[in-house]
């Protein structure tokens, strides 16, 4: 998606440890117009699939998922990372290791909101090593729902998580795939 790639090139900053900062439009300040264009792009790619639910993970996936959900006319369910008095009853859970936060945490989805009747599109802002996505796929599998695929804003292709999942037959549509990046360059996959 050209518009997203341009924003990454003009506003993104590459930091040590494979960090790409895009906090001016994606995951701290959020450009709702851009999210809306991303929603159109995902809808175009998944228009033949009868998505019934969008699943994402807190926190930075939620904004994109909600704007994307307007284009599919379905609700969003977000997996929770923290224990909460507001989360009780039967849960699907899966452990995820976060390199960003350098710890493992359990993600949780209430069993009420995912079932075998659902056809699920997973939406997230980033895909790097794939740990978060694998955790969400595990939860979807537990629920018996059909995984249609994933829609990712920025995939760090050089970290391999996306391609490893594609090799397992999982459909992953990323709007910008970065194959290489350094302090003064970002190279997208064609």
Q: How many residues does the chain have?
A: 190
The one among 78, 107, 120, 128 contacting a second copy by CB under 8 A: 78
Question: Which of residues 6 and 82 has its CB atom nearest to a second copy in the complex?
Answer: 82
CB–CB of 161/133 below 8 Å? yes
Q: Cβ contacts of residue 18 below 8 Å, gap of 6+? A: 128, 156, 158, 159, 181
Question: Which of residues 36 and 163 has its CB atom nearest to a second copy in the complex?
Answer: 36
DSSP string, 77-90: EEEB-S--TT--SS
Q: In angstroms, how far is the first alpha carbon of the chain from the final one?
A: 11
20 is in an annotated binding site: yes
Q: How far apart are CA 83 and CA 17, in angstroms?
A: 29
Segment interacting with a second copy, rule: CB under 8 A, options 59-67, 115-123, 140-148, 174-182: 59-67
Residues belonging to the binding site are 20, 27, 128-132, 156
Interface ranges with a second copy (CB under 8 A): 15, 17, 19, 21, 23-25, 27-32, 35-36, 58-59, 62-63, 65-67, 69-70, 73-78, 80-88, 100-102, 109-110, 112-113
Q: Which residues are annotated as a binding site for xanthine?
A: 20, 27, 156
């Amino acid at each position: 998606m050209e518009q997203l790639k341009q924003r990454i090139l003009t506003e993104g900053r590459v930091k040590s440890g494979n960090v790409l900062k895009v906090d001016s439009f994606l995951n701290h300040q959020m450009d709702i117009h851009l999210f809306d264009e991303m929603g159109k792009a995902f809808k175009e790619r998944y228009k033949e699939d009868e998505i019934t639910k969008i699943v994402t993970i807190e926190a930075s996936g939620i904004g994109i998922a909600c704007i994307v959900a307007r284009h599919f006319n379905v609700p969003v369910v977000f997996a929770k990372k923290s224990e909460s008095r507001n989360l009780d009853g039967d849960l699907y859970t899966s452990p995820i290791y976060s390199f960003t936060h350098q710890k493992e945490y359990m993600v949780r989805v209430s069993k009420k909101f995912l079932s075998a009747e659902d056809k699920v599109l997973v939406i997230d802002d980033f895909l790097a090593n794939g740990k978060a996505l694998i955790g969400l796929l595990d939860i979807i599998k537990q629920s018996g729902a059909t995984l249609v695929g994933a829609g990712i804003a920025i995939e760090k292709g050089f970290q391999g998580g996306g391609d490893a999942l594609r090799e397992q037959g999982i459909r992953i549509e990323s709007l910008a795939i970065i194959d290489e990046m350094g302090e003064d360059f970002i190279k997208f996959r064609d």
